[in-house]
Structure 1
Amino acid sequence: MLTTIGFDADDTLWQNEAFFRLTQDRFADLLADHADPDHLHDRLLAAERRNLGHYGFGIKGFTLSMIETAIEVTDGRVEASVIAELLATGREMLRHPVELLPHARAAVTALAADYRVLLITKGDLLDQERKLAQSGLGDLFHGVEIVSDKTAAVYARIFARHATQPDQAMMVGNSLKSDVLPVIEAGGWGVYVPHGQTWALEHADEPADHARFHSLPSLETLPDLVGQITHNHHP
């Protein structure tokens, strides 16, 4: 029987990837004389992948990866003014107002009445705390877990900390790689709510025929799905 519902934050409850895309466009404009946009995008993605182990997930690591790529593609000749501009775009992203996605507030509110509701997110600690505070959803969550990565072991530890057996837990998010597959591996339920834009490093294949996997077009029908699963598995 489900007792605990975990929610991802970025691009599940509020917009995120769209701001990264806009910043990447600005990055491509700034370096247009040195590299075409596709080549630049590939180099930036390679830098992000390389740097995940050093910087983790989030805007600060993304900003440093942009600067590193700018130095690389210009053979070290990038102007200081371009570096300053990239730092400014990173700060802008960190100040961006929170835009809740459709049905986010209603879904969390409805489920918080009957279940333990957790926010489980990767990213920069200060940035995620700021977004949660600005979202107005903070008081609805029974716990907030800001983690450096999302693996089956991490989810198992979180569920245990909240006195939840894995088969009593569900995770809801827009990333198959981070929000769905590791939770199913840990013994829980994974609900995939696709977002139009997902970071290339989060792509994975759906476990389409898995009994504890569900896909929903939006958060609107999530409370109904949770109710059905609870009802069907009630002793």
Structure 2
Amino acid sequence: MITPEMISDAKSGNANALLAEMEPRIQRAVRKFGPDAPDLAQEARVAVWESIGVLRSEEPAPCAAYLGIIIDSAVRTSRLNARGVGIGVAHIFSRALAQSEGDVDAAFELSQRKDVFGEKRLSRNAAEDAREAWRWTTSLDTPFGERESTLYDVLPMGAHRETPENQHAIEQVKRTLLNLGPSKRKILILAYGLGGNAPLSDEEIAQRMGTRVRTVQNERARAKRQFAMYFRP
């Protein structure tokens, strides 16, 4: 729980305790909004640090609520930016998502309104690009179901367990993998240990496939986007 002392210390330059207290909130935002982008948690930490100076109160409840908004905004914006959306467009669409309570189609319309965003409103093409990027949400890392397990977790090859409630997801993931090209399918299988072995790093996959690490990283990113497009829960 955030305390007035944590807030006071943070304003004085010692934010370690406050950042540690907000870390679970940061991790929840990352799991919810963009687990497939690697630097989201750090972006959220930076956003919290930069926001400390504008905290007007040392009351824990309003500060926690404000920092929660900052964290969600930072994660949404960074996730869109990581998927090729310019930072300015990502920031506006992130704000539109917040105002539309996560409804991506409502955010698409809202982000284009001059009465809401003034001259910073998005063009239809920019809003469309941001909407499509945001919809790339389903991947093997994405939270699935009420317990926030992931699609990787429900695979018997990944979690070494299979239950009746997971069976539908398991079959859907298997069918989706079959829709990918051989190279993309192999990279996902190796990266997530879906063949019954331990997951491999990008370096290990590159060595096994006889290619460059950067090639593996690019192909894995494309594979996960295609997985997101094909997967239907």
- Scaled to the shorter chain, the TM-score interval is 0.3 to 0.5
Higher radius of gyration, 1 or 2: 2
Q: Which structure dedicates a bigger proportion of its chain to helix?
A: 2
Q: TM-score, normalised by structure 1?
A: 0.32
Q: Which structure dedicates a bigger proportion of its chain to strand?
A: 1
Q: Which has the higher relative contact order, 1 or 2, with Cα contacts under 8 A spaced 6 or more apart?
A: 1
